[in-house]
Structure 1
């Protein structure tokens, strides 16, 4: 059975005149890593909220179509039970921390405690995930005093400890430096290797191209393209839509432009060469 199916789903937030998601139809297959990209207000976070069940259990609004999680409509799921199936890592690491625990160790255990996991099992899970993410030096620190990168690691640890089958991750690196970003993607890749189904919204498309199995491009609440990274990023039509492109893909498109007659390109060959040289740091 597929983890997630959306069938002709449209959604409009309360008091909004336009749809945040419109006629969305897609099946997310079990164990695959989906990279979700697109312009701001394209519907990416709304899609995450639907899959996680925040819509309609937290956000009301106008929802039509079916959002099926393991064959059951999201409307019929108990929100707490759904949290055992789907882990959600938010964009801002500073809002991910609960603020009610004094140590990182307690913070990681909070979700397990809320689910009534036995104490011995809870301790084992927390210890395992702390070692896995190499955050032993943080466990006695107050989570509210951590840096953004450290908080994001703790947020991942809290979700990994829950052992969810599905992970929805909304721009986890937006406030992180390149080194910490690389660390986060290593964690995500490790989760992929464990067979987790991953939906990742991310603007750093070079990493999306490297790690994801399939890319979804969203615009104005609709899916405009989907396919493997090579299929999506070889589509030059995305350039006219202002979509972000991996550096290698941009260079490839620009090199192809150089091979065309001048009449068919919008910039001169010298301009294109200059752009390529600049991108290569020459």
Structure 2
């Protein structure tokens, strides 16, 4: 089922002279993880802002084309109505913490409170999300005293508890250390397993290779290529647009150039091991 359909989308900010999105066509399938990649200024965040309704409801500008969420045009939604369907996680977790709650439990509950959900239901939902994400040890802490990685996990929890169908996540690990990054992607994997549709902006290409189903490559506001992750991230042409390939893909490409016949270009460590074992087996080498 396609839940986001974008056709011939062009957008220009109110104070801009040039289009920052140009004839964008994109279909988002339910339950898949789509990674938006491209160099800085390629239009990734602007596209996210369109999908979540900040454009045109907050940033007006000049929007042309169709943007359909569940077959209803983005311009026909109220922003609050969209917020129930699409959860957004900011790049900087410090901007997503409300600053008005004393504990993580209360912070996660804040959005449900604003919707007028019954207290007992709120408690149940928050407790379930805290358990799901494994952050019980944080629930009584002050959100302002958490590390960046912990704040990002709380920010994700505060969106997940609202139970949106679609999650738009804009560079969630850009300010995190490796441990914080791993924790955030564990949460993303949990959401993927629960059937959520995820639109992710992320520069860490090894993580995209491991988690994404589809990759959308943007350059100067245009989609230059899109498709299954294994196809996009095994193609050297992606590097022409400022997108690095996973190290295992580069290894596979170089091996093929040297005449080594691999069954496929691997993207991850596990794929690389499997491909190498298969190739060695053709040479009579047992591993």
Q: Do the structures match in fold with TM over 0.5?
A: yes
Structure 2 counterpart of 1:161: 161
Distance 1:242 1:38 in 2: 6
Distance 1:31 1:242 in 2: 28
Structure 2 counterpart of 1:218: 218
> Number of residues paired by the alignment?
260
Measured on the aligned residues, the alpha-carbon RMSD in Å equals: 1.4
1:150-201: CA deviation from partner (whole Å, max 9, x where unpaired): 1001001101101111100001011111122111111111111111111011
8 A contact 1:2–1:30 mirrored in 2 = yes
Instruction: State the SS of the aligned residue for 2:15.
Output: coil
Structure 2 unaligned regions, length at least 5: 261-287
How many angstroms does 1:257 deviate by?
A: 3.8
How many angstroms does 1:235 deviate by?
A: 1.4
1:83-115: CA deviation from partner (whole Å, max 9, x where unpaired): 110000011111111112122111100111111
1:108-145: CA deviation from partner (whole Å, max 9, x where unpaired): 00111111111111110001111111212222222122
How many angstroms does 1:34 deviate by?
A: 0.6
Structure 2 counterpart of 1:56: 56
Structure 1 unaligned regions, length at least 5: 261-282
Instruction: State the SS of the aligned residue for 2:27.
Output: strand
Distance 1:240 1:167 in 2: 29
Structure 2 counterpart of 1:97: 97
Instruction: State the SS of the aligned residue for 1:35.
Output: strand
Q: Aligned pair 1:45/2:45, yes or no?
A: yes
Distance 2:179 2:254 in 1: 29
Distance 1:139 1:239 in 2: 43
Stretches (4+) displaced over 6 A: none
Distance 1:134 1:227 in 2: 33
Distance 2:179 2:138 in 1: 18
Structure 2 counterpart of 1:173: 173
Q: Aligned pair 1:150/2:150, yes or no?
A: yes
Q: Aligned pair 1:11/2:11, yes or no?
A: yes
8 A contact 1:38–1:244 mirrored in 2 = no
Instruction: State the SS of the aligned residue for 2:243.
Output: coil
Question: Which TM-score applies when normalising by structure 2?
Answer: 0.87
How many angstroms does 1:258 deviate by?
A: 4.1
